Amino acid sequence: MYRLVASDTIKPKDFVAKGFRRQFYAECACEEFALSVLEKSGDLHVARQYFSTIGMAKLNKAAVGFITAESGRVSEGPSNNVGKSHLNWWTYEGIEPHTFFSEILRIGVDI
């Protein structure tokens, strides 16, 4: 499993869903409370390209890890923007998503 991140090490701040970063939760769609992850490393380049075009160029690394059924709910969310292996991952309360990832790879260098 892969997640685009900005940090050089695994940090909780790279694993906060967009909906939780917003000030007014009531205006957010359900998907905005999910973390975006990718199943296939090949989609990292697609996702990286997309995020660069919308001003998120700092997302140039990928955290590598795994998720389990006990960690939350997952639904497929294939996208032309971020890749066909895109998944939405809603973590259960009390789950610290960054703990499911153990390595950082530089996109275009390590992967």
Q: How far apart are CA 76 and CA 43, in angstroms?
A: 14
Give tens-digit pLDDT for 7-48. 999 999 999 988 777 665 555 578 888 999 999 999 999 999
**For the whole model, what pTM was predicted?**
0.87
Give tens-digit pLDDT for 79-91. 888 899 999 999 9
- Residue 62's identity, in one-letter code, is A
Torsion-angle region of 72 (φ positive above 0: left; ψ -120 to 50: alpha; else: beta): left
What is the per-residue pLDDT for 3? 96
